[in-house]
Structures are given as structure tokens and as C-alpha cells.
Structure 1
Amino acid sequence: MTDPGFSTPRAEIDQRIEKLQRRLLQEGIDGALILQNTDLFYFSGTIQQSHLYIPAQGPPLLMVRKSLKRAQSESPLSTILSLNSPKQLMTLIEENGLAPPAVMGMELDVLPTNLFFSYKRLFPAVDIRDISIPIRMVRAVKSAYELNLIRQAAAFSDQVAETVPHLLREGLTEIELAGMIEAQARRLGHQGIVRMRLWGAEMFYGHLMSGAAAAVPSFLASPTGGAAVSAAVAQGPSFRKIKRHEPILFDYVFAWKGYISDHTRIYAIGRPPQWLVDAHAHMLDLQEQIKAMATPGTSAGDLYSAAIEMATRKGVDAYFMGAEADRIRFIGHGVGLELDEFPFLAHGQTTELEEDMVIALEPKLVFPGEGVVGIENTHVVTPSGLEQLTHAQQQIVSI
């Protein structure tokens, strides 16, 4: 049985379900069938192999294939039943006093196509629609309970960052240093999994790269990539040895009880060239300006445009968030249970910020053949702008 202290409170789950139900009614959807692990955890408190049915009106129904006993110990929901086959879904829905849906929402942004077709065959009379945007918008605004966990994750992020100068020494390979840092994170309680929603996106603990290797681009939707240990991974630390007077990028995620803090710091053995120090200072200044602008009601796309204008005025736009064709077109992203949550501070995004959204703001400069400088912190949206949650030294830390 799971320790009750690890369980999501019933009032928290009820509040989340009520928010989704309001959106279902607005969209004209009779109910949502939720399968993805992160969404299951958010709305039920468990990731056991389940189907969670949330009607637009009425109590939710959690139907579990494996493990039923663990789901019952983890989830505060009232109705948790055994499910042997998806063929039983509609029968169980009706047997528990709920009307079978004519229009049903599913997470079509993450549901594999073969599974989608199998559900279409199971429910030929049901109109299946994408419910991913309403789910992600509900999840974008954090509760006090969630903010408390993210603040705890941010405090652990700072602790990990503060260990780096004590571990760093010339001649270590990137992968050796990464392993020592990750061991410390694990000792503090890092869950060991960093969840991402975007198809094909994956990450371990984060990126630890030095000098020119940090500026090697990759497939990931990130300004940094890294030489990596092989083409099978194509991101992150490599076997390259760390040298003196070069920037060392530490871009790590701390995941605590499901919730994420994302931050970046720059270190160096000795002092890097002054032009890199100056470039880093530009990113610190840009961060502070965006933080002040990011108030509720501000368009996410407008913040991206403002950041581009600032980088241009500072004369570093050619390297801002990547170089040339490998540049990404965002400066920040929501975080919560996943690393790539709403909102995205990206080109063309019309989403307006809301109080208690949580955003990782990450202005960075990527200089091919030289390295990466910049900053990233996790913030919460408040009426006066972004409140920074990660507080480790933001200047380049030279040892």
C-alpha cells in the first residue's frame, strides 16, 4: 500500500475535475476518456494502467487493469473498479449510473493512431474529439497545492546547483561530472523521470555540456543540444574533457513528487573571455525585463517579440536561442508535471498569461564553436509579473 502522505488530496482532485467538467460543457462534449499517464495522475492521483472516464456532469469513474489494489490506495476517487478489457468500458459506465456519451473527448495529441482506431471500432456510434487543449489549459494554472510542490522542487534545484562548484575540476569528462551531479539529485529525492508531452521528445536529467560541445545543435525543441555519448541519444553530455576558461552549461530539471523545476546556470574553471561574460550579463538583463512585463493578460507571443527586440538592441540577435537554421522560436515554456506545458512564450502564440501559471524563462545565447551562456529560472505568474522560484547564483560562477 502507498504511504498516504504521497497521495493527492481529495479536494485537490475534485477541484481539477470540476474545472475540466466546465470546459466539457462549454465544448459540448459528454465526457472525457483519459489514458495518458500524466493526465491520469493529474485527475486521479495514480498512473496505474487505467481508463478514467470524467462525464461532463456526475462523478468520475476509474477503471483499472493493473494494479487495482495500488490504484485504490493511491487515488482518492470514490469509484475505482476492475477492468479486464476496454470492451467493458461502456457497460461499466452505464452500470454506474452514467449515460453513455454520444460525444467523447480523448487525448488525441498523444494517443497512438492504432489505439485511436481500436476505440473507434469499439464505439462506432460515438463521436470522438480531441480534448487535449482543454486538459492542458486546466493544467496550466496551478493550485496552491501544486505551487507548494514546485517551490520544493525549485529549492532542490538550488541545492543541486550549489554542489556543482564542489564537484567541478579540470580534466573531468562532461559525462563524469553529469553522473556526480545526478547522483546528488537522486539522493535529494529526484524521481528519475522527466516527463515530456511532445511526440518524440525525451530527456534524462538535463544538459551538462562545456565549451564548443554545448553549442552543438540537436533535434530537441531546446536552444541547446550537446555532442552526447552517441547518435542514439544526440543530446546532453559527452566524453569531452572539461577545459579551463570555457563556459560550462548546467541546464537541469528537478522532478519532485511529479512536479518540475527547470533552471540553467553557467560555471567555469577560471574566468571565461570578457565578451562571454558580457553576453551572459545581457541575458540576465533581458530576463529581468521580461519578468516585469509578464503580468496576467499579457500575450505569450508579445513577450517573445519583446525579447527578440531586446536581443537585437543588444546586438546579439544572431545567436539568441540558437544560431542560424537551428534557432528555436520561443523564450520560455510552462512547467508542472511535464517539462513542456502551456503556456509557450513563442512566436505567434496568442495565449494570455494567467495568475499562477508557472513558466521556465530561458534566454540563452549559442555561439557555434565557442559555447553557450544565459540563464533559466522557474517562475510563477503574479499580478506584478514573474516571481522567481530558483535563486542559486545567476552570474557566471568561476572556480
Structure 2
Amino acid sequence: MDRLKRFFKIITNNNMDALLVTSIPNIRYISNFTGEEGFLLGLNGEAYLIVDSRFTDQAKSEAAKNINVIEYKGKFPPFLQQMLASKKVHWLGIEKVRINYSLYSSLESIPFLKIVPTNDLVEEMRIIKDKEEIETMKKAFKASTKSFNDTLPFIKEGISEKDIAAELEYRFRKNGGEKSSFDTIVASGKRGAFPHGVASDKKIKANEPIVIDFGLFYHGYATDTTRTIILGKPKNKFKKIYGIVKDAQALGRESVKSGVKASNVDKIVRDFIKEKGFGNYFTHGLGHGVGLEIHENPFVNEGSTFTLEENMVITIEPGIYLQGKFGTRIEDTTLVEKEGCFNLTDITHDLIIL
């Protein structure tokens, strides 16, 4: 079933006359439109991509088959109200965590309209990747991996974390990426104990571990990878921690297959790290989905309600963070298969020593 038919089906199944999509990734998924602003309205078996004059030509050139492109003038809420009235829409679904307050307030004030808050309807469509998406993501990870490998020779004592991030992000574009999928994390030495230690002015020093968490967008799809490397000679304490994280991450990948609860995968890895005496230092969920967004369903953590299915794409990223000392994380992005997973990340898990 194509995306548009599935979109109309969720409208019908949720007893709505229409569904207004305001999330840009969701709009792209259904319509192919890559612009940064717009709205998608589904009703009566028709889909309308509604944009202002800045995006009209782009929308017409990109929109998938059977998507009607409409240009609005002036402010969007009055235009939408008139359109909903002409189509006799009474029950309007909205993406409750994806709509801004101003638009929501305008819709709520329309006398003939009943608002139906929805959550993750289109996101649930996106969880299972199709063949085209999988091929795109494989190419994305090739570009991301090459960018990382091309950056390694650049890393030396005395340059800053920002220098490494800048070189890596330059390589993203050289290798076909559109932009970074998030603010590149380069956290060396003590800063490595910050799980989200975005690159700073700190200088790289010899014998300090460096956590590098990076990703790019390629044809709209994100990548996400982390490696912890070291410039110089690793100390025994760090080698021990790195070995635990490496084994935990391998255990996580080995636990992934269709039919397994995401929370169980998290538990297996978390219990292993606890057994090694570092449970209190693994302070975040094991992973998350990746696709048109860097963080999307399904989430892989203790409270996750998701069961893994074939062609979901998830990260496996355990870490141990010793405040005031260093941090270690290894992250791969994997494609769930019936009896295991395919690792989209083709970078060694052995400690990279420069």
C-alpha cells in the first residue's frame, strides 16, 4: 500500500474528517516536498500541499503523484478556515506535539470545528522503512563513514574540538551529505563524561580519549554514529572501560531481531554493564530510531513499549561516563532483520589509536 493510501486510512480509522500535518518530516514523507515550510491537509481521499509563494514552484516540481499543490496568500489560519468550511470539515485532526500554539489557538476558535488531537500517526507509518529508504540510508552511512575516516588523519595535539567538528562537517558535504544531522559532539578528556558534549574550544591533548558523535543528512535521511578514539597511549583504566563498552555494544547488536521487545535489548545491555560494576555510569537509553529525523520511533530504553520489527532502523549506543575523568561510547545504527540485524555502520569497534 502506498504512503498516500495509508495516510487516508489512518484518517478514516481515527474518525476524522481531515488531518492537518504540520511536521516538516511528516509532510516530506507523504508528499516528497523538501521545503522548510508548508502544511499538508488530508480529507475526502484528497491530499493538499499548502504553501506560500516562496515554495509554490518547488512544491509543484517535487510533489508526489496525486498531491494537490495550493498556494495561499496572506495569513494561513484564515485561508485554512475558509477551505475547511468549503469542504464541510467538522472533525479536524492535528499533530498535538507538532503544531505551534498560535495556529492551534486559531483553529480552536473556529465555531464549526472540533479539534481531534493525535499523536504519532504519521510517525508510526515511518517506523518501517521501505526498500528505497533502506537503500538511501545505506548510501548515507557510506558517506558518513568516509567522512569520519577522512577526518582521522587531521586529528593532532593542539587543535581544538571545534576544529575536528569543522573538518568532519566539511567532509560531510564533500562526500555527498546535505548538512549535519545534529550538532557534532567532540568531547575530549574530562569533557567526554558529558554524553552530549558538543564541540568546544578545548584543545586536544595527547593520551586523552575523544568521544566523537556525528551524523549527516543525505537525501533527507539521517545518520548517527559514535566512536571513542585516543591520540597517543591509552591508560589501563580507559582500556578496561572501553573493553566493557565494546562488549556491551556487541551484546546489544546480537540481541536485535524482529519480535524482540526494545526494552529487553536495553535490559540485556544495562544488566551487563551493571555486572561489570558500572551501572550507575550508563545514564541514558540504549538507542532510538533513525530516519527522516535523527531521533524518532522506536526508542530503545527501559520504558519502551515497542516491539522490534523487520526493517526498523535503530541505534545501539551504550556508554560509561566517569565524571572528572573521561567518557566512552560506541554507537552503531542497525537495520532490524528477521533473525538479527544488519549493521549500517562500517567502522571498526576496536579502539582507534592515532
Contact kept? 1:17, 1:43, Cα under 8 Å: yes
Matches within 5 A, 1:77-96: 77-78=65-66, 79-84=68-73, 85-89=76-80, 91-92=82-83
Matches within 5 A, 1:1-399: 15-48=2-35, 49-55=37-43, 58-66=45-53, 67-78=55-66, 79-84=68-73, 85-89=76-80, 91-92=82-83, 99-121=87-109, 123-192=110-179, 194=181, 203-204=182-183, 206-216=184-194, 224-226=195-197, 236-320=198-282, 327-328=283-284, 330-399=285-354
Contact kept? 1:266, 1:395, Cα under 8 Å: no
- Letter matched to residue 212 of structure 1: K
Query: In structure 2, how many angstroms separate the alpha carbons of the residues matched to 1:90 and 1:239?
Result: 50
Query: In structure 2, how many angstroms separate the alpha carbons of the residues matched to 1:391 and 1:189?
Result: 17
- Letter matched to residue 361 of structure 1: I
Contact kept? 2:173, 2:179, Cα under 8 Å: yes
Which digits, 9 at most, give the CA deviation of each residue in 1:47-78, with x for residues without a partner?
443221123x5121222213211110111243
- Letter matched to residue 70 of structure 1: Q
Query: How far is 1:152 from its partner?
Result: 0.8
Which digits, 9 at most, give the CA deviation of each residue in 1:91-148, with x for residues without a partner?
44676xxx53322221111212222111212x33222223332111111111111111
SS class of match (2:153): helix
Query: In structure 1, how many angstroms separate the alpha carbons of the residues matched to 2:3 and 2:247?
Result: 37
Which digits, 9 at most, give the CA deviation of each residue in 1:283-310, with x for residues without a partner?
2222222222222222222222222211
TM, length-normalised to structure 2: 0.92
Deviation beyond 3 Å, 4+ runs, structure 1: 90-95
Query: How far is 1:162 from its partner?
Result: 0.8
Query: In structure 2, how many angstroms separate the alpha carbons of the residues matched to 1:387 and 1:124?
Result: 52
% identical aligned pairs: 25
RMSD over aligned Cα, in angstroms? 1.9
Query: In structure 1, how many angstroms separate the alpha carbons of the residues matched to 2:6 and 2:272?
Result: 37
Tell me which residue corresponds to 1:324: none
- In 2 relative to 1, CA 318–100 (structure 1 residues): closer, same or farther, beyond 3 Å? same
TM, length-normalised to structure 1: 0.83
Query: How far is 1:31 from its partner?
Result: 2.1
Query: How far is 1:347 from its partner?
Result: 1.9
Query: In structure 1, how many angstroms separate the alpha carbons of the residues matched to 2:119 and 2:130?
Result: 20
SS class of match (1:238): coil
* Total equivalences in the alignment: 349
Contact kept? 1:292, 1:384, Cα under 8 Å: no
- Letter matched to residue 314 of structure 2: I
Contact kept? 2:169, 2:179, Cα under 8 Å: no
Contact kept? 1:61, 1:93, Cα under 8 Å: no
